[in-house]
Amino acid sequence: MYSDVLTRLRERRGVYDFEFDRVYSEELQRVSAFFWTPVSVAVRAAELLVQGPSTRVLDVGSGAGKFCLVGAAATGASFTGVEHRERFVRAASASARALGLESVSFIHDNFDRVDVSAFDALYFFNPFEENIWYPHDQIDHSVELSEDRYLTDIARAERLLHRARAGTRVATYHGFGGVMPSSYRLELEERRHSGVLALWVKGGDAA
């Protein structure tokens, strides 16, 4: 059912978001454009992060797994998503099975409990901003969403970036809300779709 979409992703031929999003329920399809990475951006971000089939990528705040699914399909590398809404983890895992993608996994947990040293690359699509949106713009209220949580998660993300190994590649789309540690150098910035996609690489461990 999805073989044509997967083939086009591997061959870097265009896939529309509505085509890919058919793997999701109607409810998730309706919110995809507002909350998850567009296919074209996901492919480009994966290209920037993946240096070979053994690359391990962590998506912080993976939602229904769209970036991981697209990235794995396009590159064949290993993608892991960590997400705090359990129902999205279930949906992402079901989508991976439907697509036949074996190099993708999803974790229901707080992102700062993940061993970041196990990964070569990280991806952030402004994962904390929902905390400070008006309640009617948020997906649901099944998890804590607040300004305090927003500030706490940004601080946790900055600490996670500090703990990452030298050489770790980080892609941000619409930023992540915080400040990249000075040990990271900005390699490129590109305007993609509705925002800026940036690639950072960690050098030494200076502050």
Helix (H, G, I), strand (E, B) or coil at 114: coil
Residue 92: which residues within 8 A CB-CB, separation 6 or more?
62, 63, 64, 65, 68, 69, 81, 83, 106
> Model pTM?
0.94
86 close to 61: Cβ distance less than 8 angstroms: no
Q: Name residue 201's beta-bridge partners.
A: 169, 185
pLDDT of 60 above 50: yes
Q: Looking at domain 3-202, does it have CATH number 2.30.40.10?
A: no
The pairing of beta strand 56-60 with beta strand 169-173: unpaired
| Domain definitions of the chain by residue range | 3-202
pLDDT at 132: 85
pLDDT at 205: 54
122, with CB counted inside 10 A (0-12, 13-18, 19+), is buried
The predicted-structure confidence for 139-150, as pLDDT tens digits, reads as follows 888 888 899 999
Query: Which residue is it, tokens 């793997």?
Result: 23
Q: Which two tokens stand for residue 145?
A: 């969403």
Cβ count near 179 (within 10 Å): 11
